[in-house]
Every structure is written in C-alpha cells, then in structure tokens.
Amino acid sequence: MMKIGIIGCDSSHSLSFTKVINSGRFKQTAVTAFAPVFSEDIPLSAKRKDRIQTLLIQEQGLAELSLEKLCEECDAFLLLALDPYKRLSFFSELSKWGKPVFIDKPLSITLAESKEIADISIKTGTPFMSASALRFESGFQRWANTMEHPPLSLTVKGPLLFEKTFPGYSWYGIHLTEMIMAVMGGMPDDVHAELKPGVEIISMHFQNGTKAVLQGDLAGEQPFSAEATLRDGSSIIWKNLEPGTLFEGIANASVHFFMMGKSSVTQREMLQSIELVERINHKRKALNK
C-alpha cells in the first residue's frame, strides 16, 4: 500500500483529496497522515485550520505527524498548504526524500520560483506535478478530447474571485487560464486585457492564427463554461460542472502520478501556466495604474 501524506491543514482541498482517494476506488494507495501546516499571518489560513484539522482526524481518520515524521512514513506527498509563497521552500525540503510531490495550484507564486522547483526536481530526481482541478474535470476533459486539433477560437467563462495572498489570477483565474492551455496546447503570442464593470476580458492570439478569450465574472456567479469554434465552422459547448466530480479527475491524476512517477501534465506546461498568469497580471496592473 502506497501511503500518501498531506502537507497543510488550512485548505479545503486537504479534505477533498482525502475523501476521493480514500473512497475505496484506489486499491493500492491511501492518504494516511497530514502535517498540520498553516500560516498565522494569512487570515484565510488561520481561520480554516482548526476546523479542517479536526475533520482530517475525526472524520477521515488521518494521523497528525510532524513534517519530518510524515516524510519518513509516507511514500508520496500532497503539498496543499494554502500559502503560495512557501511552495518553493516546502518542495526543497521534501526533495531530500526523492518521493513524488503533487503541488496544489499555483505551482509557485512566480515563474522564477517555479523554475527553481523544476531545477530542484532534476537535481534530486524528485518528480512533481501541479494542475488546476478544472483541467481534469470529467465533463470538461471529455469535451476537450472530442477535438483532434486546437479550435479556431475558444471562449471560456467562469467566476473570477481574488484573494489578497494570491496575486491577481493566481487564485481563481488560474482555473480559466489552464482550461485555455489544455485546449489550445500552448502559450499565446500576445495577451490583451480589458477591464469592464463586473467582468474582465483577456484576449489571446496564438502563432497558428487561433485565438482564445477569457471572460471572468467578478461577482463570482458565472458558472464555468467553454465554447469552441472548430475548423469546419461548427461550434461545441461545454457547461456546468458535473455535481461532485470536480476533485475526482485531479485525484485520479495525482494517484496515477504517484504510482508511475510521471506527471500527465508536462513540466513545460506547468511552467507555462505560471508564465501566462504572470503575463495577465502584468497587463492588468498596467491598466490599473
């Protein structure tokens, strides 16, 4: 049995991953323990940690261990601690053990730090994976997989909420950007931002002449959806998350990663995800001056 350890007790994702992985569908893996990591200086982290910690112990039956003891006893790690500024330091510590690490989105807070994580991974032989749950949501994946080639145009819509600790699109925006990257297959050549009352519109153009538009609802009420125009001129639409399925796909992908030691999202894609967020944040900052 592969034992999975969680780093962090301040994110709802700790409960979500545990519930799916320990549901009985995975016979060779189980989340067995967590290290009670949180950040006192982040209000959201400090507010959540007691309730989540209690549920991990009493509801999910996980053992509470020190980080060092967790590293000794577990075979793989879910790095889910809320603070994005500590991703690099935690990965650096975990890499001493050479065991696979899933890092919750965002991979890190800057492209420079993300590249450091990649460098550490290569030097120590420590596999890592990072992705938005939206990329692996079952309905979205089925829809995206119907396209043999990137569409002529893509529009994604969804809630665009912000959290003080996470600069710009590092919080909810990264879900929308990863949906675009998963379908379009790479980085755009240029990015244009337009800020309107209640909505942000990010337009992207790609080298092959295709384009994508991100429409973020600042009220947070717009459900996730996507519409693609194919090369024959037809359109296909995806909308509505399937109830209760959001974490099933990402949990399945993380378990497969732990078992195989190889991420289904390439290192290049993971770094590009952070690069795109940085580019969008730069464009937004310029408009807000």
Span 85-123, pLDDT tens digits: 999 999 999 999 999 999 999 999 999 999 999 999 999
Between CA 178 and CA 182 the distance in angstroms is 6
End-to-end CA distance of the chain: 54
Residue-level pLDDT at 287 = 81
Residue-level pLDDT at 240 = 76
**What mean pLDDT is predicted for residues 155-171?**
94
Smallest CA-to-CA distance from 84 within 193, 25, 19, 8 is with 8
**Lookup: tokens for 68:** 């060092």
**What mean pLDDT is predicted for residues 214-231?**
95
Between CA 29 and CA 258 the distance in angstroms is 9
**What mean pLDDT is predicted for residues 29-48?**
92
**Lookup: tokens for 94:** 């975990």
- Compute the mean pLDDT over every residue in the chain, rounded to the nearest whole number: 94
**What mean pLDDT is predicted for residues 1-19?**
96
Rg (alpha carbons) of the chain, rounded to whole number? 19
